[in-house]
Copies of this chain bind each other. A is one copy, B any other.
Amino acid sequence: MMIKINLQSDVPLYTQLTNQIIEGIASGALARGEALPSVRSLSSDLGINMHTVNKAYSALKQEGYVEIHRQKGVVVQNSLPEADDAYYRQLEEKVRPIISESICHNVSEDALLELCRSIFKQIRSSGKAT
**Which positions in A face B, CB cutoff 8 Å?**
7-8, 10, 12-13, 19, 22-23, 25-27, 62, 65, 67-71, 80-83, 87-88, 91-92, 94-107, 109, 112-113, 115-117, 119-120, 123
Cross-chain contact A113 with B115 (CB below 8 angstroms): no
Determine which residue in A82, A83, A97, A115 has the highest number of CB atoms from chain B within 10 A of its CB, and name it: A97
Cross-chain contact A91 with B98 (CB below 8 angstroms): yes
13 examples of A-B residue contacts, CB within 8 angstroms: A7-B70, A7-B71, A19-B97, A22-B97, A22-B100, A26-B99, A27-B100, A81-B105, A83-B105, A96-B123, A99-B116, A99-B119, A103-B123
Q: Measured between alpha carbons, how far is A105 from B39 in the docked complex, in Å?
A: 25
Contacts of A117 in B (CB 8 A): 109, 113
Cross-chain contact A112 with B105 (CB below 8 angstroms): no
Determine which residue in A27, A100, A119 has the highest number of CB atoms from chain B within 10 A of its CB, and name it: A100
Cross-chain contact A115 with B92 (CB below 8 angstroms): yes
Cross-chain contact A102 with B91 (CB below 8 angstroms): yes
Pick from B100, B112, B123: contact of A26, CB under 8 Å: B100
A79 → B minimal CB distance (Å)? 10
